[in-house]
Amino acid sequence: MPTTTRQWLLNGHPRGRGIEIDNDFRLVEAELPDPGQGEMLLKTHYLGFDPAQKGWMENIADYVAPMNIGDVMRGSGIAEVVASNGGRFAVGDMVFGTTGWTEYLVTDGKELTRVETELSPTAVLSVLGTTGLTAYCGLFKVGKPVAGDTVLVSGAAGATGSIVGQLAKIAGCRVVGIAGGKDKCDWLVREAGYDAAIDYKAGGVKEQIRELCPRGVDVIYDNVGGKILNDMLACIATGARVVICGGISRYETGSLPAGPENYFNLVFRRGTMAGFIVLDWASEFPGIRKRLEGFVKGGSLKYQEDIQHGFENAPQTLQRLFTGQNRGKQMLKL
């Protein structure tokens, strides 16, 4: 049994700037207590990464508990129960949840869930994890598409965006995605089943949306913010629903993305723009996971995982999200 564990601690709040790997994190060796009554010792096998982690590091959002300097970096993971003192899971069980960036942890496991899927175990961090749940809830509970709607997704080749598009296809919609670069756009159409893709790096985003969505956009699922959101708002159909999922453009500078001046189209088009926090539907997650798993097994939902290696590379792996290097859900195998 190990008595210490390596951990990545938060060492800086990246406000108003990008993440600085050397300054914002600190790798330490920490003591591991013996599991108390009802506790277990867990060994982390995978970490999952999400752009929201930068927001947590900034400690300015208040929808989650604040992260302070010296805290173990918060994040999702898959871990194995290696010892139990009357804990709720058995030795050998694989569990997932907010494990944090630590090789081992002692926990009562109340916030963790047993991995039970016919897919690969890593699916609980990707298509069955927050990524898939965010895609599902944002699209169906906020965007509320109906068959025949045109759905436009920004950050479409990202982990969430690629699932959003496929769910919209399953729901009978026409789906257009916006992504950066020809490779990603080709992948959207050939592999992810998008009806069309727009390469924002090639310019003319608004003109391309107009051409590809001649009757206007009924549902926008925005992962990006900034100018792309503004261009999308210029093209909404009457009664459009605009789902604000993320603003990855804000992470480049750390400041909020520019405000979309075309918000006023919400008046002309009787549109609605809404944000959401996926945790609000936590009670429904087990049922939604079953649906997502069913879509994958049925062949209508594909997902990509980008698996890096080595616990020491956790900060660099997070950074990949903000440089657009990842293709699909970013994970790290310890």
Residue 227 Cβ vs a second copy, minimum distance, rounded to whole Å:
10
Residue 216 touches a second copy, criterion: CB under 8 A? no
Neighbours of 33 (CB within 10 A): 10
x-marked contacts with a second copy along 268-297 as a string, rule CB under 8 A = xxxxxxxxxx--x-----------------
Taking each helix axis from N to C end, the angle separating 226-233 and 205-212, rounded to the nearest 10 degrees, works out to 40
Supply φ then ψ for residue 55, to 5 degrees.
-60, -40
User: Which residues make beta-bridge pairs with 29?
Assistant: 6
Out of 77, 109, 246, 328, point to the residue binding a second copy (CB under 8 A): 246
Residue 267 touches a second copy, criterion: CB under 8 A? yes
Residue 147 touches a second copy, criterion: CB under 8 A? no
Residue 257 touches a second copy, criterion: CB under 8 A? yes
Window of 6-14, 19-27, 182-190, 255-263 that interacts with a second copy by CB under 8 A: 255-263
Residue 258 touches a second copy, criterion: CB under 8 A? yes
Window of 12-20, 87-95, 244-252, 323-331 that interacts with a second copy by CB under 8 A: 244-252
Q: By the 8 A CB rule, do 281 and 256 touch?
A: no
Q: What is the helix (H) or strand (E) element at residue 24, kind and residue range? A: helix 21-24
Residues for the chain: how many in total? 334
Instruction: State how far the Cα of 226 lies from the Cα of 112, in Å rounded to an integer.
Output: 35
Find the radius of gyration of the CA atoms of the chain: 20
Which amino acid belongs to residue 152?
L
Residue 242 Cβ vs a second copy, minimum distance, rounded to whole Å:
8
Residue 252 touches a second copy, criterion: CB under 8 A? no
Contacts of 274 (CB under 8 A, 6+ apart): 142, 241, 242, 243, 244
Burial of 102 (0-12, 13-18, 19+ CB in 10 A): buried
From the list 6, 74, 71, the residue with the least C-alpha distance to 43 is 6
Residue with tokens 């789906």: 175
Residue 260 touches a second copy, criterion: CB under 8 A? yes
Out of 263, 291, 307, 322, point to the residue binding a second copy (CB under 8 A): 263
Residue 217 Cβ vs a second copy, minimum distance, rounded to whole Å:
15
x-marked contacts with a second copy along 47-66 as a string, rule CB under 8 A = --------------xxx---
x-marked contacts with a second copy along 63-92 as a string, rule CB under 8 A = x-----------------------------
The residues binding a second copy (CB under 8 A) are 61-63, 225, 230, 244-247, 250, 256-277, 280
